[in-house]
Amino acid sequence: MTKVQIKAFMTVAKEKSFTRAANVLYISQPAISKSISMLEDELGFTLFLRKDNVLSLTAEGKLMYEFFVRSIDEFEMLLENIRASLSSNSLSLRLGCPDTWNPKFFYEKIRGFIAREHPGIEMTVECGKLPELISDLRSGKLDVALAHDFYSPTLYGISSEQLVATGCGLIYSREHFGEVKDISAFKGTDFLMYDKEIQKKLEQLIREICRDKFAPTFRTTTTMANALFAVACGQGVMLFSEWDNIISNSAYGFLPLEEEMTVRMIYAADNKDPIVEMMIKELPAVFGAREA
């Protein structure tokens, strides 16, 4: 049970509406619904009755609401005491992310959450390639890093938690393909790869995407730069997440797909920093089920 979940519950109970509560808290309606659902799953009982478009508290929900009304001040004081005790150590969260990502999808959301709920914590961000991020996690230079499932294989000493699902799609040359509306336009075109560690996973996904259309062919290049150059020359297409900066490059078209990629938080398994543990527990509720 987190402070975010409690605040969501109290606000929904007061507003008698998930939509109005979401507006009050400045978060999406799916995010607040998921927060309540997670709280109900943890408690083992339903908090709200939903009947004829009217939202009301269950008997158990009323007891929980009355309890939190009585104890919220004590709860806030407890949090302040914990923050004060932690302040003897420099409060910081060192976050790592791929250097190809667009920060608009995650930076302000995380920074805003920390400023609002944990104002004593200072967040810094380091960008790099996945091997660099993993090395920095192991050495203690980073606390948490973000990565897609494809880029976070099972590694000794590294743990992970799901953060959010994002869309994905194919980039292609506008000059050579024009505006593409269907994946069938890429029949006979190579799907380009550059990272052997994740190639099998990507090939499996692409075969699934093309299953009812055509059998895809694959070509591996030595670097991402070479792959992107080949795409610009009309010699192939590449799969990217909606979070990747490259899709905003006007030289490339972007064909969204129904499939999703999962963003995970990765961290050193032996990291017992209470700030890291708190972020791992609370951040998924901030993002909700999926980013639009």
Q: Tens digit of pLDDT for each residue in 222-272? A: 888 999 999 999 999 999 999 999 999 999 999 999 888 889 999 998 888
User: 3-86: which CATH topology?
Assistant: Arc Repressor Mutant, subunit A (1.10.10)
Write the CATH number of the domain with boundaries 92-165+263-287. Answer: 3.40.190.10
Give the sheet arrangement for strand 252-268, strand by strand: 122-128, 92-98, 144-148, 252-268, 158-173, 238-241
The residues of the chain that CATH labels 3.40.190.10 are 92-165+263-287, 167-259
In the structure, what pLDDT confidence band is assigned to residue 287 with cuts at 50, 70 and 90? confident
Question: What is the rounded CA–CA span in Å between residue 145 and residue 167?
Answer: 20
Size (the chain), residues = 292
> Which carries the bigger pLDDT value, residue 65 or residue 236?
236
The reported pLDDT for the residue numbered 237 is: 96
Residues 6 or more apart in contact with residue 241 via CB below 8 angstroms: 148, 166, 167, 168, 261
The reported pLDDT for the residue numbered 51 is: 82
In CATH, the architecture of 167-259 is: 3-Layer(aba) Sandwich (3.40)
Task: Find the largest Cα–Cα distance for the chain.
Answer: 67
User: For helices 3-15 and 18-25, what crossing angle results, to 10°?
Assistant: 130
pLDDT in tens, 94-144: 999 999 999 999 999 999 999 998 988 899 999 998 888 988 998 999 999
The reported pLDDT for the residue numbered 101 is: 93
The reported pLDDT for the residue numbered 85 is: 58
Strand partners, 161: 265
In the structure, what pLDDT confidence band is assigned to residue 69 with cuts at 50, 70 and 90? confident
- By C-alpha distance, which of 229, 231, 237 is closest to 210? 237
Burial of 76: CB neighbours in 10 Å, binned 0-12, 13-18, 19+:
exposed
The residues of the chain that CATH labels 1.10.10.10 are 3-86
Residue 13 has pLDDT above 60, yes or no: yes
